[in-house]
Chains A and B, each alone.
Chain A
């Protein structure tokens, strides 16, 4: 018994070491999204192109939607922009999946300029200069991409830049599944 107790501190220290070592490799910014499985939050905002226009959830409803949160102050958005264009110009995909933008905490002038200069992959961008739609979506920063199904339920939140690797691994299977669901009318 005494011999066991003598080794107890050593065992405890090793256990603590294992726990702390594991903590080193965890990504603290990798947050689970609570919104997955919930309905797309309500909003009523203008589009980026037209300050007098008004768009709401109803404008996104009925389709499988990719909602991309972007801003001109976000360098990673610039990195992923060519890939978004690729997605938007893929006729097979564009028939099934609609790509919309949320211009998050940005200014209208520079953002319009950005789209003119780099081309516009979005059907439209919601102009969320105050970031209130972003807050409702639980956005941490930009870029973030949400997948919303045809019933208006958020099915995925992805924080970070989209590229072909991420797309194949994280999005394609889900999109296929959603297209199936929509066709079967689940």
Chain B
């Protein structure tokens, strides 16, 4: 019973999350003369951001500007423009903003190298903490005087235990 229920929940979850082919992307009826151009069109329309609806790419968006841009993209591909040329042209109109993967420039240094820098700083912090540890342990070590005191205490306690033979200790042995 429980297994069945679990199965149903899992299947329902899977259909929700797995990239189902019936997605809500808008449909255009562009005709491509070859498969490569079609694949390039799909790739580019995923790389380019819709200017109006900022969290969607061109492929996903249904807005007027996105559909105009898809048509423009199609025309540019049909004219035989290269991917780099198309990207340059789009950036020339809408700015770096249209690229979902911004280029490396002085404006985007923080974006590109910030995470690496943070990891580096983190590593330095971790290493410095690890290096500190042995030192603190060394300071915990007993000096000869304390060692002598400890062995003396231990000696008296074992002597005391063997004489009394506590019941709890016996239980533990069993």
Interface residues of A, Cβ cutoff 8 Å to B: 28-29, 31-35, 38, 71, 73, 104-105, 130-132, 134-141
Beta-carbon nearest neighbor of A141 in chain B: B52
Beta-carbon nearest neighbor of A139 in chain B: B65
Most A-side CB within 10 Å, residue of B64, B71, B94: B64
The yes or no answer to B72 lying at the interface (CB within 8 A) is yes
29 residue pairs A–B, Cβ–Cβ below 8 Å:
A29-B54, A31-B51, A31-B94, A31-B95, A32-B95, A33-B95, A34-B94, A34-B95, A35-B92, A35-B93, A38-B92, A104-B64, A105-B64, A105-B68, A131-B64, A131-B65, A131-B71, A131-B72, A134-B68, A135-B69, A135-B72, A135-B93, A137-B93, A138-B51, A138-B93, A138-B95, A140-B52, A140-B65, A141-B52
Given contacts A131-B71, A132-B71, A135-B69, contact A141 B93 (CB under 8 A): no
Interface 1/0s, chain B 60-103, versus A by CB < 8 A? Answer: 00011101110110010000000000000001111101000000
Whether A134 pairs with B95 at a CB distance below 8 angstroms is no
Taking CB atoms, residues of chain B closer than 8 Å to A38 are 92
Beta-carbon nearest neighbor of B64 in chain A: A105
Taking CB atoms, residues of chain B closer than 8 Å to A132 are 68, 71-72, 75
Given contacts A31-B97, A140-B51, A141-B52, contact A135 B91 (CB under 8 A): no
Cα distance, A179 to B92, chains bound together (Å): 28
Minimum CB–CB distance from A114 to chain B (whole Å) comes to: 17
| Chain A interface main SS type | loop
Taking CB atoms, residues of chain A closer than 8 Å to B65 are 131, 134-135, 139-141
Minimum CB–CB distance from B155 to chain A (whole Å) comes to: 41
Given contacts A31-B51, A130-B71, contact A136 B64 (CB under 8 A): no
Minimum CB–CB distance from A111 to chain B (whole Å) comes to: 14
Cα distance, A138 to B91, chains bound together (Å): 9
From B67, B91, B93, B97, contact of A131 by CB (8 A): B67
Beta-carbon nearest neighbor of B96 in chain A: A34
Whether A131 pairs with B94 at a CB distance below 8 angstroms is no
Cα distance, A134 to B71, chains bound together (Å): 12
Taking CB atoms, residues of chain B closer than 8 Å to A135 are 65, 68-69, 72, 93
Cα distance, A138 to B51, chains bound together (Å): 9
- List the 3 closest A-B pairs by CB distance, nearest first: A131-B68, A138-B93, A34-B95
Taking CB atoms, residues of chain B closer than 8 Å to A35 are 92-93
Cα distance, A134 to B94, chains bound together (Å): 11
Cα distance, A132 to B92, chains bound together (Å): 15
Whether A34 pairs with B92 at a CB distance below 8 angstroms is yes
Beta-carbon nearest neighbor of B72 in chain A: A135
Minimum CB–CB distance from A149 to chain B (whole Å) comes to: 19
Minimum CB–CB distance from A75 to chain B (whole Å) comes to: 14
Beta-carbon nearest neighbor of A131 in chain B: B68
